[in-house]
Structure 1
Amino acid sequence: MRALYENIASKKGNESFVAYALKVAFFEFKWHYHPEYELTLITKGKGKRLVGDSYENYETGDLVLLGADLPHTWSSDPVKNKPVSAIVIQFSPDFAHRFLELDEFKKIASLLASSARGLFFPDSKSIRHELELLPTQTGVEKITSLLAILQKLTTLKHYKLSSEYFEAIKGEETESRINKVCRHIQTHAAENLSLEQVAALIHLSRSAFSKFFKRATGKTFSDYVNDIRIGNACHLLTETDKAINEIAYQTGFESLTYFNRVFLKKKNITPRDFRNRIL
């Protein structure tokens, strides 16, 4: 999908890297990329996280390391009087290169190389304090703290997010076609979404849209929609007591049988077993 370029260099001025605490009413879907590495900790909020062709739910404590030029976005629904917040750290490959040639930084170099597909750290509790402190630091202390954080990340369990087949289509447009499509899919995922209807949003034929979407995301339109629906279903399975058949129809599936089949394919577990495991 076509991602928008974000200029991080203009934010940091004369500093080596950017570290800031972000607090907003909600995270808007903004599919973008930049040449800097990014480490993001969600300190409050929940929603959907898209990294490359990985689409997952996130919640408070979500910690992800992104490689250079890897398209991504976090999104959430606006909830009155419930803002969301995050700690965001962005540093250029040039900054990292100054250290990574040294033997002492081999593990960090390996970690950053792996982040080309995005890395998710399931347990961020042990490093949360250091991350929250970093935006308040200055000078040498700030640099040494970042290096210490990266070193600690090498010891934490993590897994890759985006598949090796993902290939981003990048470019800047006044109105990104793919952002328009993705916002529409997220908003209307529970409805009867047709490929023709979504293709018409960006004035493409059915066949042209299918090729564009597959080339951009590595997924078919129906597979992408099912990813979103299953993500929404996981949320309802864990956060509500609704019956499984009710959840199936509420998230956009036309039959319980099809819902169970797609859920098992995506999660390698049935919806019932998924709920029982969480509870």
Structure 2
Amino acid sequence: MKAILEDIKIKKGRASFFAYTYQVPYFEFKWHYHPEYELTYIVKGSGYRIVGNTYEYFKEGDLVLLGSNLPHTWTGKSNQQEHSEAIVIQFSSEMIHSLLAYEESEYMYKMLKDSAMGLNFKSTNEIVNKMEIVLSSNGFEKIINLIALLNDLSKVAYRLISPNSFHTIVSKKNENRINKVCLYIQHNFNSKITLKQVAELIHQTESNFCKFFKKATGITFSDYVNEIRINEACRLLELTEMTISEIVFETGFENQSYFNRVFATKKKQTPSHYRKSVKQK
């Protein structure tokens, strides 16, 4: 998907890396990328995380490491009861590169290499505590604490988020276009969305829009919408007692047979089996 470059160097100033707590009413859709690695832990909040061309539900405790120039965004709905919060650490390859040549850095080297596809970890109290220590430390200790954190993280099992991700640097005009379309889909996926509607959003013909969207996201428009709807269905299967027929309606599918077919294709199991396996876990 096409994204805007975020300049971390300006934000961190003269410091070797940037570590901060991010507090907002909710995570807004902001599709972007940057040369720095990024480690993000979700303290509060839930919604959807888009990394490369993978769209997944996230919630409190989500821990992700993203490689250089990997497009991403976290997006969620407003919760008037409490703010959303994340701990974010962004560091450059230049800063860490000299350490990776040593034999002792074997696991860290592999982890950072794999982070080009996005890595999802099971967070532990120890890792979160070390992230908080990085936030609160100063001077050279801050660097030492970051290296210790990355070393510990490299020994934790992780899952690749977006094995087939890609990145193309694009114009600001196209970045605005794709963000406008994706925001519209995000806000309206539970109702009928026609190709004509989204094409008119960015003043294109349906044919030109299909080519533009496929080039921008790596998948077709209909597959992208289905990806969002199925991930929302998974969230509802996991967190609610809604019937499958109710979920079909809630996620914008026209009928249950089509929903079942798409769900089986994407999740390799039926909705009822998915709910059962989640409950067992």
TM bucket by the smaller chain?
over 0.9
How has the CA–CA distance of structure 1 residues 71 and 170 changed in structure 2, closer, same or farther, with 3 Å as cutoff? farther
TM-score normalised per structure 1 = 0.96
Q: Which moved more, 1:35-44 or 1:130-139?
A: 130-139
For 1:256, give the aligned amino acid: Q
Q: Partner of 2:231 in structure 1?
A: 231
For 2:92, give the aligned amino acid: S
CA deviation string 1:120-143 (max 9, x = no partner): 113444411111221111112211
Matched, 1:136 2:136: yes
Q: Partner of 1:277 in structure 2?
A: 277
Matched, 1:214 2:214: yes
TM-score normalised per structure 2 = 0.95
CA deviation string 1:100-132 (max 9, x = no partner): 222222221221111111111134444111112
Matched, 1:153 2:153: yes
Q: Partner of 2:91 in structure 1?
A: 91
Give 1:249 shift: 1.2
CA deviation string 1:66-110 (max 9, x = no partner): 111110000000111221000000011111112222222222122
**Paired residues of 2:178 and 2:216 also in contact (CA < 8 A):** no
Q: Partner of 1:248 in structure 2?
A: 248
Give 1:165 shift: 5.4
Q: Partner of 1:68 in structure 2?
A: 68
How has the CA–CA distance of structure 1 residues 204 and 174 changed in structure 2, closer, same or farther, with 3 Å as cutoff? closer
3-state SS in 2 of match to 1:159: strand
Give 1:57 shift: 0.2
For 2:42, give the aligned amino acid: I
In the alignment, structure 1 segments of 5+ residues that lack a partner are none
CA deviation string 1:39-71 (max 9, x = no partner): 000011110000000100001110111111110
Tell me the distance in 1 between the aligned counterparts of 2:63 and 2:189.
26
Tell me the distance in 2 between the aligned counterparts of 1:93 and 1:175.
25
Tell me the distance in 1 between the aligned counterparts of 2:222 and 2:81.
35
Q: Partner of 1:264 in structure 2?
A: 264
Q: CA RMSD in A?
A: 1.5
Tell me the distance in 2 between the aligned counterparts of 1:45 and 1:106.
34
Q: Partner of 1:100 in structure 2?
A: 100
Give 1:173 shift: 4.3
Identity %: 48
Q: Which moved more, 1:119-128 or 1:55-64?
A: 119-128
Tell me the distance in 2 between the aligned counterparts of 1:212 and 1:55.
19
For 2:153, give the aligned amino acid: L
> How many equivalent pairs are there?
279
Q: Which moved more, 1:5-14 or 1:98-107?
A: 98-107
Q: Partner of 1:193 in structure 2?
A: 193
For 2:183, give the aligned amino acid: R
For 2:236, give the aligned amino acid: L
How has the CA–CA distance of structure 1 residues 96 and 49 changed in structure 2, closer, same or farther, with 3 Å as cutoff? same
Q: Which moved more, 1:248-257 or 1:99-108?
A: 99-108
